[in-house]
Structure 1
Amino acid sequence: MIDVHTFENKTAAYYTLGCKLNFAETSTLGKILEENGIRKVRPGEKADICVVNTCSVTELADKKCRQTIRKIARQHPGAFIVVTGCYAQLKPEEISHIPDVDLILGAEQKLDILQYLGDLQKKQKGNIVTTPTKDIKKFSPSCSRGDRTRYFLKVQDGCDYFCTYCTIPFARGRSRSGTIEQLTAQAREVALSGGKEIVITGVNIGDFGKQTGETFLDLIESLDQVEGIEHYRISSIEPNLLTDDIISFVARSKRFAPHFHIPLQSGSDTVLKLMHRHYDTDLFARKIETIREKIPDAFIGVDLITGVRGETEELFEESRRFVESLDISQLHVFTYSERPGTQALKINPVVPVPERHERCRRMLEISEKKLHDFYYKFQGTTRPVLFEQPRKGAPMHGFTDNYIRVEMPYRKEWINTCRPVKLGEFNESGDALLAIEI
């Protein structure tokens, strides 16, 4: 039984590392605590509770988590520190030895945080509450706004793929998802609260509905009927699960933006096999061609990993040539990092770390050119833009339906509204086009 008086006049600070899915879940954690009388801490105020939602996608991510926890302990002396997320699920014992950590919650317990806070008394060593990954069954719905205009709607969690380089199935468990009825209701709530854009997120969203007999296509068709939402964006979706029917639906839909984010990871079939990916470069190239045929204006972002074990110089060059040949808009490039417990550790040869970073740099050069060319192609055209709340002193900014960043002078009445604008020249930093009011 939770003693609500324990939480009277308490404040909480929230810290999120990693993916959009984590941000959605942190937002839900905040709502849970707020509904039980725990107010979000104000700037400069010391918090009674600090919640850290962690990432563990790379060794660097683990290091950032540890640094963040220590920094929080200094900023909020005496606070009850809760650590959750992927790092907490994978390495709870390691976290329990970090000074000032009081509670470590695994993936299954994350959104049941109230049950484990107790009397908020500091501990000598962090209390660990986790479920073995193989036993994680529950799907916990989450939807976040954060500090920006767009919302992130979690529709799926976990993964059944077990790629050789990846720890996500061990951190989040097997694939599971919400129901269409449940998720469509959440989208309606976003619309009623004034939300205009929703990003559909998860670990492997194309795998949606395995337990319920529903499909991802069924889901997006239902979401498309929710009045009040201007744009939906589909976050990362596996190429083998991005069906032609999904692409065709986006092409004709009322609200789904012409925007795709598709993980490639390598442009070499040999490396894709070493990774245990579920497609080859021929399939990937066909997906890009289908999108361009049906939605010529679409923004296409692609994930890539450089320097994985087994990626020889020749195979990297093969990957680089394939990536250059694709009619895509941008690359999101990650440098490979060894993760304990993954099958990739058995693969040779090992790419030296400096060479991994050099390959990353070369791929980023390709990305910069492709993004510039994509923006350039739309100069002088008119596109709808959803404008966001800018930082103090910063220019107004927003994104077109096909994800071109635009800037213009501040207009308060334009915040969280979708307006057609003409796309002009590049801004001074070259990362956005200047919007011209029409």
Structure 2
Amino acid sequence: MKIAFLTLGCKLNYAETSTYERGFSSNGLEIVPWEDKADVYLINTCSVTERAEKKCRNVIRKMHRTAPEAKIVVTGCYAELRREDLSRIEGVSLVFGAKEKSQVVGRTMAMLRGEEMGSEGSFKQLSMAAEYKEISKETLSAFSTEGRTRSFLKVQDGCNNFCAYCTVPYARGDSRNIPIAEVVSQAEQIAAGGVREIVLTGVNTGDFGRTTGEKFLDLLKRLNDVEGIERYRISSIEPNLITSEIIDWIASGTKFQPHFHIPLQTGSDTLLRRVGRKYSTDFFAERIEYIRSAMGPGRSGGCSAMDPFVFFGIDVIVGLPGETQELFEETYSFLKDRIRPSYIHVFPYSKRPGTVAAQWKDQVRDSIKTERVAILENLCSELHSEFIAKNRGRRSTVLWESDEKNGMMGGYTGNYIRMEKPYDESSVNRIEEIII
């Protein structure tokens, strides 16, 4: 039998999908591309915005029209939050919420053997509070590979922050983590497969250690010793969790790259307080400046002035309830005049049922959100071009990838600048010193 996979949403979903793929492969199913004809289609869903949920529904309906005899299995955040809605869509055979991730392979195989059919009545729908407790009991170990060069390794799941706009705690449960020894073992498996770079992923990655009593920095140090892995990145980390101790250790000469993805969400202190973020703009700016001074060109400790600048990718939500023009301009000014990140990931606020912010009366019109997204995307283009320009002529390294397009191959520098050169098969999965 053949099975195909489609993953929507974050890198954590990709890591979990890859784990399902290995599980189904070990049970004798053939993994085929999503576009091919398959007997089973597994969709790993996202629920971070209304648009993401709509895309999930459309994909399911389209797949059923295209392959009406195939079994459709749905998992992921949307499956957790809207299980009953998904179960009613024609063609859906099984729905797995967050607390059933370890059952995806086993129950699907049972269904294919004729031992279990349909999802109605399979699980009792619990209250939101009870569901949250059930989700928090499970932590699925997972890692994915992106071609032959890079792997996304899940080290943590869930979140305790309950920001006013966010459904993630309800979809993924309490903050919890995999023990350091298990993470290191998985990193060794990844290295044995020839992968050279690992990206650490989690819902709230820097909160690692909450359930095992271990420290995030201790995890980083153990991973740094894994032979065969030459580069690490941290996919996303909250500003209040990236401590000076962590920064100083990374800057001391480790495998961790000068590339940070840090969520800001808004550059207005008024809105940061209102939605429940755990830092101020002053604190955020101080973290950025500390990292730049510790890891940037010309730092103390023998760093060459020819070394590259640190890459900062910053998440920003526009149109949060209560975001007046004045408060939006505070965000714009904070980004442009104070921190000048390398890239801005801009998202329009999406009202999510069940969250505190969805009940607020001062919602921002969609047309205004669209205008503000465009303004920040233009700023992003300006800042990203500036970042690339100031890195030109500096020394770095590139991990070359296997994809070929128009006779060229690509790869990323340590500080996440995309580079290209004529395709050379001998360069695939090799790290090469270059001048940007």
Give the TM-score taking structure 2 as reference length: 0.92
Distance 1:103 1:190 in 2: 30
Deviations 1:150-177 (A, max 9, x none): 1000000000000000000000000010
Letter in 2 for 1:378: N
Distance 1:336 1:44 in 2: 32
Distance 1:288 1:326 in 2: 7
Please state whether the residue corresponding to 2:271 is helix, strand or coil. helix
Choose from 361, 380, 383 the match for 1:367. 380
Choose from 312, 319, 340 the match for 1:300. 312
What pairs up with 1:390-409 in 2 under 5 angstroms?
390-393=403-406, 395-409=408-422
Q: Which segment is superposed worse, 124-133 or 255-264?
A: 124-133
What pairs up with 1:97-246 in 2 under 5 angstroms?
97-117=88-108, 118-120=110-112, 129=123, 132-136=131-135, 137-147=137-147, 149-246=149-246
Please state whether the residue corresponding to 2:333 is helix, strand or coil. helix
Maintained 8 Å contact 1:49/1:81: yes
Distance 1:161 1:420 in 2: 41
Deviations 1:226-251 (A, max 9, x none): 11111100011000111011111111
Maintained 8 Å contact 1:52/1:83: yes
Choose from 347, 367, 391 the match for 1:354. 367
Deviations 1:307-334 (A, max 9, x none): 0101111111111111112132111010
Distance 2:173 2:33 in 1: 35
Distance 1:194 1:290 in 2: 34
Maintained 8 Å contact 2:5/2:34: no
Letter in 2 for 1:400: T
Letter in 2 for 1:396: M
Q: Which residue number corresponds to residue 387 of structure 1? A: 400
Distance 1:114 1:179 in 2: 23
Deviation at 1:127, TM superposition (A): 6.2
State how many pairs are aligned. 414
Distance 2:290 2:246 in 1: 11
Letter in 2 for 1:299: F
Q: Which residue number corresponds to residue 328 of structure 2? A: 316
Letter in 2 for 1:329: S
Distance 1:20 1:186 in 2: 17
Deviation at 1:76, TM superposition (A): 2.9
Letter in 2 for 1:327: R
Please state whether the residue corresponding to 2:347 is helix, strand or coil. strand
Choose from 46, 64, 70 the match for 2:37. 46
Deviations 1:113-157 (A, max 9, x none): 133223336967766547722222111110100436210000000
Distance 2:148 2:40 in 1: 24
Alignment pair present for 1:36 and 2:24:
no
Aligned identity (percent) is 47
Give the TM-score taking structure 1 as reference length: 0.91
Please state whether the residue corresponding to 2:403 is helix, strand or coil. coil
Deviation at 1:112, TM superposition (A): 1.7
Choose from 55, 76, 80 the match for 2:71. 80
Please state whether the residue corresponding to 2:273 is helix, strand or coil. helix
Change (3 A) 1:42 1:323: closer
Deviations 1:290-347 (A, max 9, x none): 0110011211110000001011111111111111121321110100010000000232
Please state whether the residue corresponding to 1:119 is helix, strand or coil. helix
Letter in 1 for 2:78: Y
Distance 2:406 2:266 in 1: 40
Letter in 2 for 1:279: Y
Q: Which residue number corresponds to residue 252 of structure 2? A: 252
Q: Which residue number corresponds to residue 56 of structure 2? A: 65
Deviation at 1:369, TM superposition (A): 0.9
Alignment pair present for 1:13 and 2:4:
yes
Distance 2:231 2:427 in 1: 16
Q: State the Cα RMSD in Å.
A: 1.7
Maintained 8 Å contact 1:102/1:126: no
Distance 1:344 1:105 in 2: 27
Distance 1:285 1:378 in 2: 22
Q: Which segment is superposed worse, 230-239 or 346-355?
A: 346-355
Distance 1:244 1:194 in 2: 33
Q: List alignment gaps of at least 5 residues for structure 2.
A: 297-308
Deviation at 1:96, TM superposition (A): 0.9
Maintained 8 Å contact 2:2/2:29: yes
Change (3 A) 1:243 1:354: same
Alignment pair present for 1:272 and 2:272:
yes
Letter in 1 for 2:389: Y
